[in-house]
Structure 1
Amino acid sequence: MPDQFPTGSSGYATGQLARALAAAVSAGTEADRERALRKLRRWEDVLGGMADGTLTVGSRTPVADTPAWVTLEVAHGGFATGRYLAEVPLSEEEAARVASLPDDVPGRNERERLNLWYLGDDGQAELLAALRGGHYRVDVPEDAALPVLVLLLDKGFPEQALDLAAELRPLMHRLRLTPRLTQVARPSGSAVRLTSVRAAAASLRSARVPAQIATMRDAVTVWNPLYDRLVALWCRTVDGEPPHLDGSGAVRGGWPCRTWPADWATARATWLADFAEAARARAPTGRQSHPKNNFARLRRALESCPDGSDALTAREVGWIRRAIANTVSRRGAPGTGQRDAWRTAQAAAVAAPTNAALAGVLAGRLDRYPADGGLPSLDVATAAVSEAETTAEIPLGTAMPGHLVHKAARSLEAPVDELVRLGVITSGETLAAVLPQLTSRLLSAAIDDPVVAGLHEQCYTAFRRRRGLLLLGLEHQVRFTELPWVDALAPCRSPEPDDAAAARRALRQTTMLALTAFPHALLPNPLVTELRALAKQAGLALPLVEEVAADIFMGTFTTKWRDAAAVASRLLAGTLYADYYDLPADWSTPQRTVLRWGKRTTADFTALCRERAGTSGGTTVKNGMLLEQSQILTTHNLAVLVDGLTLTDELRDRAPRLARQAFDWIVRRQAQRTDDRHAALIQVKNAAYAWRQALFLLSFCEPTVRYAHAERLADETRGTVLEPAVEGLLHVLRGGRFTATGTVRGGAGVRFLGWADGANPFSVRGE
């Protein structure tokens, strides 16, 4: 009986909907509220589609009556909302084009009429001109569909063009199938960027002055001068010296409201009008509005005596005298050197330009470059404020703060390793985000025609921006070659591409960059996808495996996991890693496979993982234990890459430093405490994964280096939750082995694992 295809539960989506709703209700700013409402709409769409059957969560075609190649809107966790990303309203340029079309252009709506017009002579000519000049941008993969069709016709492949048209025709009324046409050609080269100049400038312009800073600046520049004028106004009514406090706190000096200046009514009305105008522009804070504050008492008294009459009671006059005495004793009387020095110091404290103002200057610099392009040099961002950029708030020569420079640097175009060095690329996930820009050029090198190659390159980069779906039943994500317009380009590719050597070089460089820049971190799935694409281009059959989420694990593995484990055992035989984790010595027994959901799965590898984990899975925790064993056995791609790319010598030179970095990361990570149970579980899981990476690297070090690392680690972790893990490491380095339960017989050492059925001894929780 065939396996029934599994489907996802609505429980996760319901929880996300509740969180989005709570975020929308508690949003502090309008921008926060808009973001929360967008999330809320997405999760409403997810749950609505699951309820009415139009969404099948877990399938690679989750939206009913929708081909797999359509780019879907995907919410967090891989849940499709049912919306198409290429189903967008007409832009202003597109609307103008449709308005100018002849009446005989067919189509049931404006989008379909525009798509069909591009298949006519005039439309084809416009697209060809844009393609040849490079004046276009592919934002989602569908943008390349009609351009490919037009190029096929232009190159003399009408049959492939007609087949593609037939594939696209049912959705022409919904999808934008043409790129954005631009005035500036898209640059190409070996440099990459994390984001565009437009996006970096928008991020800079989103900077706001924090509420506390804005309140403080208002106090110094608006309310304090008004307060000083108010105190001075009341001091003019004092008969004798200004009231002040003596050493015992009693009020001494003259009394207010004894003498009324001739211009009292005018001066009073002017001050009240200035206060009202200031209050309209900004809300008074507690210091100006609290009823017991000196400012509020003096203001209310001023409002009560329009003509200097005896409208005030003796009690109110006493409060005026007390308020004047308080401020005069503390800061000096208005107009005195003591008070002026205090106000000057306050003004200097808030005179520095705000980050928001400097961010606006930096955004203006970025505006000078093509919006879809990148920043050619970081000097643009690091330069001090020039004379042309100065304002009343920003003086000449003001330095740009580092965090603003970092925002601008996200659009810097530079080699990948340079972006890592500058801290622009800070993780394997970020590396995976920029790598398609390089991979796309290598994959497009198999196409001789530069126009077709340029379109292929942009399409690949856009395709890699697609968010992955939540997949069950051993399904795989849609592959680039499954896009009908990409498949239709087959006649344009060289039969014997000569770019395998370049792809291999790129694969080696990227692998070493990931290992050296982030030695503590697993290779994330998006990066594994790019490495797999490069390996295929290089002609290498590498069994690269993905990280599988414990809550959707289907209880079995495809055959590539066993292949990867065999490589790991062979490469690491006799090493620290093999001894610490008790890797199998021999995988020569013929593999037992089982067909599940149409995929060939490995029965013996799955059985070994279950045996080592001591569980058959089922719950999220037990699945996690089983999956961790699969990662241990395969080294999660490290052995496959090092072996397949002959990186042993390069890694041996760098392994001591990298292992030290990984251990340092673990120590810092485990020193952090959290009261959140889920955060604590993630923390120990990631620390255990980093421990595995460190032991893999340490396996390429000399014995003396291994001992030195372990002994130093023992000194750093004594008395912490990591002490048993280090004891276990030292035990193995001395030739010992763990028991079947991962402990040291007669000792305190324990094998460090991230998943446990019950309390994990390495978990760090707040007191």
Structure 2
Amino acid sequence: MNTGYALGQLQRGLAASLNHPDPAVRARAAAKVDRWRNVLEGMVTGTLTVGSRTPVEGVPAWVTLEVVHGGFATGHLLAGGPLQPHEQERLASLPPAPEGVTERSRLNAWSLGDDGQRDLSAALRSGCYRVQLPEEGALLTVTWLLGHGEAERALELLEKLAPLTDRLRFYPVPDARPLSAGAVVRLQPLSDAVEQLEAVRLRPQIAKMNETLRIWNGLYDRAVSLFLETVKGETPHLATTENGALVRRLDGQPQAHGGWPCQNWPAGWREQAQGLLEEYQDKRQLNSRSGKPEHPKANFARLRGFLEQCVKDPRSLTGWDVGAIRKILASYVTRHGAPGSEKLRRLREAQARMAARPTNKELADVLTDRLRRLPGDEGLSSMELVEAPVSAAESAKAKITQGSPMPPSLVAKAERSLEAPIEQLVERGVIASGEVLATVLPQITSQVGAAGIEDPDLRRLYAALYAAFRRRRSLLLLGLQHQVRFEELPWVEAMRPFRKNELGARGLARQTLEQVCALAITSFPQVILPNKLLQELSALSKTADLKLAWIEELAADIFMGTFSMKFLSAAQQAARLLRGTLYERYYAIPTDRILQLDDREQKWGKDTAPGFVALCTERAGAKEGWSVARNGTILEQAQILTTHNLATVFDGLGLRETLRPALPYLAKQCFRWVVRQQVMKVDGWKAQLQMVKNTAYAWRQMVFFLSFLDRPAQEEFLGGARDLFLQQDETFTRRFEPAMAGLEWACAGKVFDASGRAGPKGQARRFLGWSDGKHWLFE
């Protein structure tokens, strides 16, 4: 594993930390730089082994590591690091420690003493604790074991923890409120929503506009009024035609009519002018967002200059100066109306209403005040508090208009903290992808996994541990290694005898599994099930006692040319399910050959499927050698043969009939998404390749859904798809026509040739995402 990727991340972080205009972004980038510097130092010195389950030297696999993008460990242990406030508070109450004893050792030792055990026992019974990291539940487990006559098991657990008690916190975070459990989830706690609302800034353009409307326009009006008082004759104005167009002289300049300024000087005029100039300077000291009042070519700035000259000595004005003033006044009156006129009054009233509207920043501050009154680590039970307009009390405090509505952009930030059933959050758009669904699912699956534990205190602790464990970031792993499993945590393993996988728990797990799979596929039919979600589905399958082959998406840049046996099992299940269907025909699935594969080979201590690898390599037409593109073509063939979990859901989980009514809709959604992505302007070749890959995956999902429709339903789909296709611009239709023709060809019962082409002159093509060379869509 070379250091190129880490160096690239470090360079991007450095650039952002030095050059980004937003201080908050610079601060986050600086933190990112520190993390990637740790990664590089560890790789160079050998203290980090990238690609291993135990990348940090001397640290067991179950310890929670700080992991950055791409799965690289930094070497930091998340349960270590600086003391937290609750730790500092506890240390303040303890006697001084002997020399050489770390603060964490003292706190872990105190937790195992009489006082600490009383506190932990009370916390277990009440649920008044929080487990932010899995390690923080270890001593709670010890306490439960000791309280239930399992001293030997508790001592075995302590022996495993002992080497790290000087560095890690194995005790929970105290909290005044008990843990709650239920069938609702939230995307983030309220504290995150408050932080996001606090980050809302007033847009510079809005700030400049409001400053002009609220301050400078009024002063400009008064300056014009002062000079109009000096006019002898008719108010200056520009000549216009009947339809309002300006009448211009031969040199192109507009014609000014009316009297001339600086002819009369009313009593007190100079004092008024001086007062206006002083007021401008005072206000300019406090309001400098807009640069227009100071622009030398702007009429307001020019008029102030003439005003200063008149205050000092009106006789110093030249004829050109008076003409310039007359032209400014004429332009102003023609455009806005004379001071005191109905036209100017209506204009300034409309601008005042606009300026009086609360800005997003002002409304964000109001909403922040509302949410701060609620516990930061909880969520919202409803959106009433968020969506309510500005109250009278809020109006008085914030100096904004009562009854002002909360803008949708701010409501959306708070809505991420709404606690509701998963289905409702998907419907509201809060959960907008399978990846997001995976982040909230542990809040449900933690309860499912704990259902087999009779003791309520242990059941609550197990659920809290599971939710904390699922927040761990995955490591980059090589050689068919698997991520650390929940059961590998020593304190979770110590709970195993007390967790009964009874019929009720299995039934609940299966029901949850079916609901989540159906929700993911019907809500996001165009995307493959993401790896993070597959982890949860795998855990639910295990609890439900179902042996299902869930297939993760493998990274092409670290693919080592080997598939585990579950890939072959998934492919054989798919082959049986799809025999004789459109999917088999479109992708030329060698069903009999797949079903006859039964060889296996040991690699890295794992059973692998060499025959399946050979089949995928052959179908990809992959040449000898190594490249990311070559790997990608092989991995795509594996996804095609296994259907990347669709066959597992439809056949293994038995959801085929449940999802059948939705199949026409799912296929249409996939097609529409493909068209939207393909017509979108995408810059950069990497982004273009990603777009083609993702749309090809969505196309494959669409073909799978169509495979379970009868011929009339397929024809109805093709008619609608062709209509939508022809509504797009010619550049797209010409480029994508081979894929459309290929789908229609296969739906008609015909097959492609060995190169994936069909029809006259091979104009119809099978649509795949990866290509070892230039993709035909870019030719």
TM-score range normalised by the length of the shorter chain:
over 0.9
In 1, the alpha carbon distance for the partners of 2:97 and 2:37 equals: 40
In 1, the alpha carbon distance for the partners of 2:67 and 2:317 equals: 68
The corresponding residue for 1:596 is 603
TM-score by length of 1: 0.93
2:97–2:106 Cα contact (<8 Å) kept: no
1:424-480 Cα deviation digits (max 9, x unpaired): 111111111111111111111122111111111111111111111111222211111
The corresponding residue for 2:356 is 351
Once the two structures are overlaid, the 10-residue window that deviates more, 234-243 or 328-337, is 234-243
Matches within 5 A, 1:717-728: 717-718=725-726, 719-728=733-742
The verdict on how the C-alpha distance between 1:269 and 1:109 changes in structure 2, with shifts beyond 3 A counting, is farther
In 2, the alpha carbon distance for the partners of 1:22 and 1:243 equals: 56
The corresponding residue for 2:671 is 663
Residue of 694, 698, 710 corresponding to 1:690: 698
In 1, the alpha carbon distance for the partners of 2:530 and 2:382 equals: 29
1:722–1:762 Cα contact (<8 Å) kept: yes
The verdict on how the C-alpha distance between 1:760 and 1:321 changes in structure 2, with shifts beyond 3 A counting, is same
The corresponding residue for 1:714 is 722
In 1, the alpha carbon distance for the partners of 2:427 and 2:279 equals: 54
In 1, the alpha carbon distance for the partners of 2:226 and 2:98 equals: 78
The corresponding residue for 1:559 is 565
Residue of 34, 46, 51 corresponding to 1:41: 34
1:180-201 Cα deviation digits (max 9, x unpaired): 2112222211111111122223
Residue of 734, 750, 767 corresponding to 2:765: 750
Q: Is it true that 1:731 corresponds to 2:745 in the alignment?
A: yes
Matches within 5 A, 1:413-562: 413-494=419-500, 496=502, 498-562=504-568
Of all paired residues, the percent bearing the same amino acid is 49
Following superposition, the deviation at residue 721 of structure 1 comes to 2.9
The corresponding residue for 1:645 is 653
In 2, the alpha carbon distance for the partners of 1:203 and 1:677 equals: 33
Matches within 5 A, 1:143-542: 143-239=136-232, 242-246=235-239, 247-248=247-248, 249-260=254-265, 263=268, 266-304=271-309, 307-308=312-313, 310=315, 315-391=320-396, 394-494=400-500, 496=502, 498-542=504-548
The verdict on how the C-alpha distance between 1:729 and 1:332 changes in structure 2, with shifts beyond 3 A counting, is closer
The corresponding residue for 1:4 is none
2:52–2:476 Cα contact (<8 Å) kept: yes
Q: Which structure 1 residue ranges, 5 or more long, are not aligned?
A: 1-7
Once the two structures are overlaid, the 10-residue window that deviates more, 471-480 or 522-531, is 471-480
Following superposition, the deviation at residue 338 of structure 1 comes to 2.7
- CA RMSD after TM alignment: 2.4
Once the two structures are overlaid, the 10-residue window that deviates more, 206-215 or 584-593, is 584-593
The corresponding residue for 1:61 is 54
2:501–2:543 Cα contact (<8 Å) kept: no
In 1, the alpha carbon distance for the partners of 2:326 and 2:41 equals: 68
Following superposition, the deviation at residue 348 of structure 1 comes to 2.2
In 2, the alpha carbon distance for the partners of 1:728 and 1:662 equals: 16
Following superposition, the deviation at residue 101 of structure 1 comes to 0.7
Matches within 5 A, 1:576-615: 576-586=582-592, 587-589=594-596, 591-615=598-622
1:575-595 Cα deviation digits (max 9, x unpaired): 111121122223443522222
2:209–2:290 Cα contact (<8 Å) kept: no
Once the two structures are overlaid, the 10-residue window that deviates more, 492-501 or 462-471, is 492-501
In 1, the alpha carbon distance for the partners of 2:631 and 2:67 equals: 25
The corresponding residue for 2:243 is none
Letter in 2 for 1:607: A
2:72–2:476 Cα contact (<8 Å) kept: yes
Following superposition, the deviation at residue 757 of structure 1 comes to 1.9
- SS where residue 499 of structure 1 aligns? helix
1:644-675 Cα deviation digits (max 9, x unpaired): 22112112222122112111211222221223
Following superposition, the deviation at residue 363 of structure 1 comes to 3.2
1:265–1:308 Cα contact (<8 Å) kept: no
- SS where residue 764 of structure 2 aligns? coil
Once the two structures are overlaid, the 10-residue window that deviates more, 642-651 or 600-609, is 642-651
In 2, the alpha carbon distance for the partners of 1:607 and 1:300 equals: 84
TM-score by length of 2: 0.92
2:86–2:173 Cα contact (<8 Å) kept: no
Residue of 105, 108, 116 corresponding to 1:123: 116
The verdict on how the C-alpha distance between 1:636 and 1:57 changes in structure 2, with shifts beyond 3 A counting, is same
The corresponding residue for 2:251 is none
Following superposition, the deviation at residue 507 of structure 1 comes to 0.6
In 1, the alpha carbon distance for the partners of 2:386 and 2:620 equals: 52
- SS where residue 762 of structure 1 aligns? helix
Residue of 754, 764, 767 corresponding to 1:740: 754
The verdict on how the C-alpha distance between 1:497 and 1:100 changes in structure 2, with shifts beyond 3 A counting, is farther
In 2, the alpha carbon distance for the partners of 1:159 and 1:280 equals: 75
- SS where residue 591 of structure 1 aligns? coil
In 2, the alpha carbon distance for the partners of 1:285 and 1:373 equals: 42
Residue of 689, 693, 710 corresponding to 1:702: 710
In 2, the alpha carbon distance for the partners of 1:266 and 1:112 equals: 78
In 2, the alpha carbon distance for the partners of 1:187 and 1:267 equals: 68
In 2, the alpha carbon distance for the partners of 1:141 and 1:265 equals: 77
1:733-758 Cα deviation digits (max 9, x unpaired): 22211111111154421111011122
1:684–1:763 Cα contact (<8 Å) kept: no
In 2, the alpha carbon distance for the partners of 1:31 and 1:237 equals: 53
The verdict on how the C-alpha distance between 1:714 and 1:340 changes in structure 2, with shifts beyond 3 A counting, is closer
The corresponding residue for 2:242 is none
Letter in 2 for 1:742: G
2:448–2:505 Cα contact (<8 Å) kept: yes
The verdict on how the C-alpha distance between 1:273 and 1:476 changes in structure 2, with shifts beyond 3 A counting, is farther
1:88–1:176 Cα contact (<8 Å) kept: no
